[in-house]
Amino acid sequence: MQEKILILDFGAADTQLLGRRIRELDVYCEIVAYNKFPKNDASIKGVILSGSPLSVADPQAFTSDISNFYGKYPVLAIEYGANLLAKEKGAIVVPSTHDDMSTILLEENNNALFNGLTGSIKTTLNVTDKIQELPTSLTPLAEYKGVPVAYQDAENKVWGICFDPIAPEFSESNQILKNFLVDICGCKQTWSPESFIEHTIAELKEELGNDKVVLALSGGVDSSVTAVLLNKAIGKNLICVFVNHGLLRKNEFSNVLIDYENLNLNVIGVDASEKFYTDLAGVVDPEEKRKIIGRNFIEVFDEEAHKIENVKWLAQGTIYPDVIESLSITGKVIKSHHNVGGLPEKMNLKLCEPLRLLFKDEVRKVGHALGMEDHLISRHPFPGPGLGVRILGDITPEKVQILQEADHIFIQGLRDWGLYDKVWQAGVILLPVQAVGVSNDERTYERAVALRAVNSVDAMTATWTKLPYEFLEQVSNDIINKVEGINRVTFDISSKPPATIEWE
């Protein structure tokens, strides 16, 4: 049985990052909504309560039935979680006036949570609430200006800290987390890509048996790793379908099919580009383009899948951020589950999502452990609608070809200059404008493009990548000189927020 730490999410913006930090310490964890504590789960080794944007005094404050875990598991409550637990045990909690950065004084003869730390630590305190007075059942462990900012209930193995242990400026974060996970909860730190593969393949064999599974491949990391993992478990009972909607990168359809064949995957390639071009003709609204591309993909995939007899499962490359972002923690869904659109509802198949509990970096590690080629694992994310959201205005085969050529020069340039792996995502956008230029001593009036390169962890935020001027100059010259129809190149220096990564 895979031991795990359970994180109760009260809506903190960095709950995903907390989960990733725990996984980086080779301890498996899962994130659930604050009010969804699983019953009778023998694999739980400890519980963490997250922060929240709310105050515990808010009439709509999130609360949890602490009898589910208090005194039953070791507990680490963070910021809002610490204030909530303290209040539930009788503490006086009032609005906070803490400074952003604080020096916390640790009590002498501290215990296991602060093992390895001495004297004081500098970090950012919770700025929403503060504990004015603790009940006698809770012992103060640290203070700031006479106010308790960490406490414990030794008898019940409960700790509360009124600061964020994974704040970027807090250098002791791993020490505190490791103390809780290993010394207090007794986690063995056996979580690894290899252990995940072994455990998951065994589960898939048992769950799927001799059933047939169909998977929509996109050429991206998530669906590719999903395919290889399933292939290890059920072999030729996995049938993959790779649909070319005509909006892929240059030569991507043929190149990806070759890659998949080299992985011994059972793949059906479908070139449906003409159907997509026909239905997209004259459409300029971005959302309408997305809907047409999504609807057509479902229709094409469904038609191919129905040619296969006795399929019982639909596999998807869903990963953990997709699952977490679909949870309505605060009452507002960040984004709805989007993998393969509405296929599960339309096809009436059982759903198989072997990567649904992995973060993106973990998916890549699993891919490497499965022996996949680096160029498949390290690929930049690419939008489902492909170049359809990088051609502003209407889509035509001519525009697609122009953009494919420009995009190929940019991406190949990043590889040639050793910059590809230093960028999280990159691409070229074809703008709906024309500009005056000069070529062969003649006036031209041709298209303009924008280069886009960003760095990110999870696509929720992104910063524009500072590429060398010499590189940008070379790429600009190559695109203008080699791609007929383009005479101007710009570079997008917008970050997210307020801009989005894609232009549509």
Q: What is the pLDDT of residues 161-202, one digit of tens each?
A: 998 888 776 766 688 999 999 999 999 999 999 999 999 999
Half-sphere exposure at residue 452, Cβ-oriented, CA atoms within 13 angstroms: 25
Q: What is the pLDDT of residues 429-480, one digit of tens each?
A: 999 998 888 776 677 789 999 999 999 876 778 999 999 999 999 999 999 9
> Kind and range of the H or E element at 486?
strand 486-491
Q: What is the DSSP letter of 124?
A: P
pLDDT on residue 281: 96
Among 8-17, 93-102, 321-330, 384-393, the range with the most confident prediction by mean pLDDT is: 384-393
Nearest to 430, CA basis, from 464, 402, 398:
402
> Kind and range of the H or E element at 446?
strand 442-455
Question: Sign (positive/negative) of CA torsion 175, 181, 182, 188?
Answer: negative
Give whole-number Cα distances, 263 to 150, 238, 268, 318, in Å. Answer: 52, 13, 14, 21
pLDDT on residue 384: 85
DSSP three-state, residue 257: helix
The average pLDDT across 355-384 equals 90
Secondary structure E strands in 118-272 = 120-123, 129-133, 139-144, 147-153, 158-161, 212-217, 238-244, 267-271
Q: Picking from 147-156, 336-345, 407-416, which range would have the lowest pLDDT averaged per residue?
A: 336-345
pLDDT category at 331 given cuts 50, 70, 90 is: very low
Average pLDDT of the chain is: 89
Secondary structure E strands in 249-382 = 267-271, 311-315, 350-352
Count the residues in the chain. 504
pLDDT on residue 104: 81
The average pLDDT across 372-395 equals 92
- How far is Cα 225 from Cα 358, in angstroms, rounded to an integer? 11
The arrangement of strands across the sheet holding 350-352 comes to: 267-271, 238-244, 212-217, 311-315, 350-352
Higher pLDDT, 64 or 444: 64
- How far is Cα 448 from Cα 430, in angstroms, rounded to an integer? 7
Q: What is the pLDDT of residues 257-280, one digit of tens each?
A: 999 999 999 999 999 999 999 999
pLDDT on residue 77: 97
pTM for the whole thing? 0.79
- How far is Cα 332 from Cα 481, in angstroms, rounded to an integer? 48
pLDDT for 147 beyond 90: no
Give the tokens for residue 256. Answer: 């990806």
pLDDT on residue 325: 60
pLDDT on residue 340: 43
Q: Picking from 37-51, 346-360, 488-502, which range would have the lowest pLDDT averaged per residue?
A: 346-360
- How far is Cα 218 from Cα 379, in angstroms, rounded to an integer? 12
pLDDT on residue 338: 43
The average pLDDT across 290-297 equals 92
Give whole-number Cα distances, 162 to 85, 131, 139, 154, in Å. Answer: 11, 9, 14, 18
Percent pLDDT > 90 in the chain is: 64
Paired residues of 120 in beta bridges: 105
Half-sphere exposure at residue 211, Cβ-oriented, CA atoms within 13 angstroms: 18
Percent pLDDT > 70 in the chain is: 92
Q: What is the DSSP letter of 421?
A: G
pLDDT category at 337 given cuts 50, 70, 90 is: very low
